[in-house]
Structure 1
Amino acid sequence: MHQNPEPGSDSIAYRAIPSVHKLLESPVLVEWSSRLPHEWVANAARKVLDGHRLRLADDPKVAAQTTMDELSRDVAKTLQIQTARKLRAVINATGIILHTGLGRAPLAKSATEALVEAAGNYASVEIDLKTGQRGQRVEVVEDLVCQLTGAEAAAVVNNNAAAMLIVFAVVVGHHRPRKVVVSRGELIEIGGSYRLPQVMESSSAVLDEVGTTNRTHLLDYEQAITYDTAALLSVHTSNYRVQGFCKSVSIQELVELGKRHAVPVIHDIGSGLISSELCSVLAEEPSAQESIQAGADLVLFSGDKLLGGPQSGIIVGRRHWINQIRHHPLMRAVRVDKLTLAALEATLRLHHDPVRASNELPVLTMVQMSVERLQERARCIVDRLGSIDGLADVAIRSSMAYLGGGSLPAEAIESVSVCLRSREISEAELARRLRVGSAENDSMRQFPIICHVQNGAVWLDLRTVFPDQDEMLVATVVAVV
């Protein structure tokens, strides 16, 4: 532990430490005090002075040379870091399109505009403008969702985990423990410690596992059905694949079984693809349309993955179940706000025109951008960076991008990256500077760049970089090398 006494000649250095009051009288901190509460600035000054005392204990001679101006600048730097926005727009150069850590799907321009309009104004969230009567907020988007999926009714909650929770709560009920039958091969865990069995337990559902990890047959489900069976559950294993000697039951087969025994079928398709015809790359993903056509009673999916909208959980299916979901006490806890509804409505409208959706939804434009176009952009970036003294090597490399967000985990998308090597710093340090170099100064109009390090170089995958961010990417690299 550091000691704070002031022994011998070192006491002079300790006595020279300015008081907080004195430090706050410096011109730079007077200016900060005019913009922030006094106590905020004073706390930053105390933090810097405490650090200075610790440095004196470690190296008295060096620390004693620190001037009042240097201490003031340290306080100003501390305040700059504390007041900088924590949630920043970034350039995603990872090659992961639906990057959960970066907010998953970027919104289309029309969705962003709708969100901003709703945010700055009152909005008709639960008011029917024709009748003036109070309505339900899901009505803003229900018709759009039902037209796209073919479902009888729809509900929207704040994410797909919440959708699963409230569906179990409604279907299972609370009168007595009831079973939900699910394949062992579909007992998923996703990021953030979300485990399907634990969600089921929290809703009073009793998990009834059937089959094995790699093989589950229709007979396994049928033999598990008893008078206590509340539902049959099919979960899309969106973030992993079981290959080789394996077998699973299709949603069509499960629906037929459910009909024979009068047991509802729940299908969690996860990734949120509306139609498999939207993009050939996504054809392997289950779609909400297909599941509804197969006869599933309830279908659940995310709004911020392949749909390309805001974070939300969308439930479609039979009106009998949807009405119960809407009136369940949990709905109040998991409902969405006007910002989500505004962005979701605009996103769904785009899906009604597949051509517009392909051209305007960032998720789809990124997936479909040609390698030739990526190479063209890469050449322009390399031409700009090739003469920078701080870079030892700037090269174009073939790379592989991924959808991410638990979609098509085994399917890579051919991509193009710009690879950087610095003359003086390691690839890890260069990646750090790209990530934080401008994070403390919003006025630089630069976004932090999130990239990855591989084979001794920093890789900037252009498939997830918007074309209009290329200039900013170059400027940020130049600023930090």
Structure 2
Amino acid sequence: MNKNKYKQIPSVSRLLEDNCIQSIQAPQNVKLKVIREHLQEIRSNISTRTVIYSDIVENIKNTITTQINSLRRCINATGVILHTGLGRAPISPHILAKVQQNLASYINLEIDCNSGKRSHRDEHTKTILTSLTGAEDATVVNNNAAAVLITISAIAKGKEIIVSCGQLVEIGGSFRIPEVIEQSGAKLRIVGCTNKTHLCDYEAAINENTAAILYVHTSNYKIVGFSSTPNTYELAQLAKKHNLPLIEDAGSGLINDFDIPLLASEPIIKKSITSGVDIVTFSGDKLLGGCQAGIIVGKEKFITRIRNNPLMRALRVDKFTTLILQQTLQNNQQSSLTTNPILEMLTRTPLQTQKMSQNISATLQKKSHYHITVENFPSYTGSGALPATQIESFAVAIRTSSRSLAKVAQKLRLNDPALFTVIKNDTLYIAPRSLLKEECKEVIAILGKLL
């Protein structure tokens, strides 16, 4: 039986000459490598494989295309709005137009047009950041972990920094607050217990070697029940009493109070500054709705120390990030949900997601042999924001007994643009809460073609 299967495996030369594979715009050595690896995989699993030439060609074509064009546009139908795997916040089209307009040529990243002298790239975002947050000064690095790292290094290297036991978070990729502090050169002083830390715990830990107090917003999880911790105002008063800076890792980057009930538990950067926090760090690609960046705002004397830290050269942002962030912050000045796609998705009502789902479902039911319905399907903010908070939503539910849903989902992901869905309880879900407004028709077209 296996001998016959081996005979069915096409040769490398035959596959290289196949019109479908020849049509792919890729170097010949890449094609050759993929073909050989795929054929070897078939031979290694020949007893469990069905050798079908068209499937082999299709798989090779998909692999080559994926390797050559590994980064491509994706449609997020998972219901997870800030999907880390899909790049978190999408960038508004008018911001991208501004980027194209300005970065196709030279740009005054570090030069003052008025004087013609060298300036600092922070100047392009400092004024608007201080205006939005009420802080005295601001700087930007490449992500929030870097912001925490350089802040602690500049403020507490060689000395102790106090953190509550319940705030020793692990962020994505297994990066942990204790490890970040260790890399900064500071010494971690843990106070309190997992569920309860009192103000007196912080005060009892303060000594002549204490450099700062760190308050970490627990964005990836929530401790409920018999639990409490001092708020930033109480900690700011304690820090001021002992002439220490209070640093807050606010995480998600909610600058404005948009009066959105869902976001009530998220720290607002301006309120943190008002409450007396000396330095606040937060992300640029979460609720702010921009690109990856670690934003640091606070008192000028501390920001100056951070800006002059040797790590700044390694962690600074480039012209793309600077321009995108500047435009994103200008959007936030308008205090309008329409300028931030993330906030627009978060504020869609369940009824709106139901109507979007019904629109997709109605079109597909006419063309497909799958069992298609509209059902309740909770959505999530994602990327650590609003942990454990389900957002009431609806989604298109697709079921079948004749095909593998895993293969259907893979086929959707290999489309261009890639369509990401969710498989749960033998059902494939299309969740429209995380779709951009203009993507509904595109999703219908993709599903209609591939289903």
TM-score calculated relative to the size of structure 1: 0.85
1:320-469 aligned at under 5 Å gives the runs 320-355=301-336, 358-391=337-370, 393-436=371-414, 438=415, 442=416, 447-469=417-439
Corresponding residue for residue 125 of structure 2: 141
Within a 5 Å distance, the mapping from 1:90-239 to structure 2 comes to: 90-173=74-157, 177-239=158-220
Comparing 452-461 and 145-154, the one that deviates more: 452-461
State the partner residue of 1:6: none
Residue 402 of structure 1, CA deviation: 1.3
Q: Distance in 2 between matches of 1:419 and 1:196?
A: 39
Whether the 8 Å CA contact 1:303–1:309 is kept in 2: the answer is yes
**Is the partner of 1:400 in helix, strand or coil?**
coil
Q: What residue ranges of structure 2 are gaps of 5+ in the alignment?
A: none
Classify 1:169/1:450 alpha carbon distance in 2 versus 1 (closer, same or farther; 3 Å).
same
Whether 2:312 is the aligned partner of 1:312: answer: no
For the 8 Å contact 2:21–2:57, the answer to whether it is kept is no
CA-based RMSD of the aligned residues comes to 2.9
Q: Residues 408 and 448 (structure 1 numbering): CA distance in 2 closer, same or farther, change over 3 Å?
A: same
Shift of 1:213: 0.6
CA deviation vs aligned residue, 1:356-403 (integer Å, no higher than 9, x gap)? xx0121101101122232222222212101122431x21111222111
Larger mean Cα displacement after TM superposition, 315-324 or 411-420: 411-420
- What does residue 4 of structure 1 align with? none
Give, as a single letter, the amino acid of the residue that structure 2 aligns with 1:418.
V
Residues 426-457 of structure 1: CA deviation (Å, up to 9, x unaligned) = 33333233223x2xxx4xxxx22212122321
Task: Report the Cα distance in structure 1 between the residues aligned to 2:172 and 2:382, rounded to whole angstroms.
Answer: 12
Moved more, 229-238 or 116-125: 116-125
1:5 aligned residue: none
Structure 1 residues 362 and 294, CA gap change in structure 2 (3 angstroms): same
Q: Is 1:477 aligned to 2:447, yes or no?
A: yes
Alignment of 1:67-86 (within 5 A): 77=61, 80-81=64-65, 84-86=68-70
Quote the Cα distance in structure 2 between the aligned partners of 1:368 and 1:74: 41
Partners of 1:433 and 1:25 lie apart in 2 by 23
The 5 Å alignment of 1:11-50 reads 26=17, 28=19, 36-44=26-34, 46-47=36-37
**Distance in 1 (alpha carbons) for counterparts of 2:59 and 2:431:** 38
Q: Tell whether the 8 Å contact from 1:400 to 1:412 is kept in structure 2 after alignment.
A: yes
State the distance in 2 between where 1:344 and 1:149 align.
Answer: 15
* More displaced 10-residue stretch of structure 1: 112-121 or 100-109: 112-121
CA distance in 1, matches of 2:174, 2:90: 24
Taking the aligned partners of 1:203 and 1:49, their CA distance within structure 2 comes to: 49
Q: Give identity over the alignment, percent.
A: 37
**Are the aligned partners of 1:96 and 1:404 in contact in 2 as well (CA < 8 Å)?**
yes
1:225 partner letter:
I
Change (3 A) 1:24 1:109: closer
Q: Does residue 1:293 correspond to 2:271, yes or no? A: no
Question: SS state of the match for residue 301, structure 1?
Answer: strand
Question: d(CA) in 2 for partners of 1:72 and 1:461?
Answer: 32
Contact 1:301 1:313 in 2 (8 A): yes
Three-state SS of the structure 1 residue aligned to 2:380 is strand
- 1:41–1:79 contact (8 Å) kept in structure 2: no
Quote the offset at 1:78 in angstroms.
7.0
* 8 Å CA contact retained: 1:308, 1:361: yes
The verdict on how the C-alpha distance between 1:434 and 1:314 changes in structure 2, with shifts beyond 3 A counting, is: same
| Aligned amino acid, residue 475 of structure 1 | A
One-letter identity of the residue aligned with 2:161:
V
Aligned 8 A contact 1:310 1:344 in 2: yes
SS in 2 for 1:402: coil
